[in-house]
Amino acid sequence: MSSLKIRIYFEDTDAQGVVYNSNYLKFLERGRTEFLREIGYDQKQLLDNDIIFVVKKVSLDFIKPAELDDIIEVRSKIFGVKNVTFSFYQEVLDSNGLKILTADVKCGCLETNNKKPTKVPTKLLNSMMEKSNGI
């Protein structure tokens, strides 16, 4: 599992006084990006090589709101791997460990040039699975 702490700023809030819904997708991607970085991959390096990851499906469950100045935690792990896709389970927690949001995010692996689906490299997949064990 990977864990990332995020501070909530004015930019993240809206006129209802809480975090605006679309910003959780940003926080979730920050979490997945740090998950990948922790196993040795950064986005720019993947982009410069021949692979990009894209989001295929997302399910979000909004449980309670986050607010200005809060520090939230994004937890990310892989829970499913197929031929050309892989899926993250992610949680956003408040500073007491209470759930703010849960998410299933299915990603696809594409060739950078032609945007065709391609196999996730085996080494990367193995690292993903290893990182997700024992949560």
Catalytic residue list: 14
Pick from 1, 38, 56, 89 the residue near a second copy by CB under 8 A.
56
Minimum CB separation of residue 81 from a second copy in Å reads 19
Size of the site for a second copy (CB under 8 A): 39
- The answer to the question of residue 61 lying near a second copy (CB under 8 A) is yes
| Range 83-89, long-range pairs (CB < 8 A, 24+ positions) | 83/119, 84/108, 84/109, 84/117, 84/118, 84/119, 84/120, 85/56, 85/109, 85/120, 86/120, 86/125, 86/128, 88/28, 88/32, 88/35
Q: Which residues bind a second copy (CB under 8 A)?
A: 7, 9-11, 13-18, 20-26, 29-30, 33, 42-45, 47, 52, 54-62, 65, 67-69
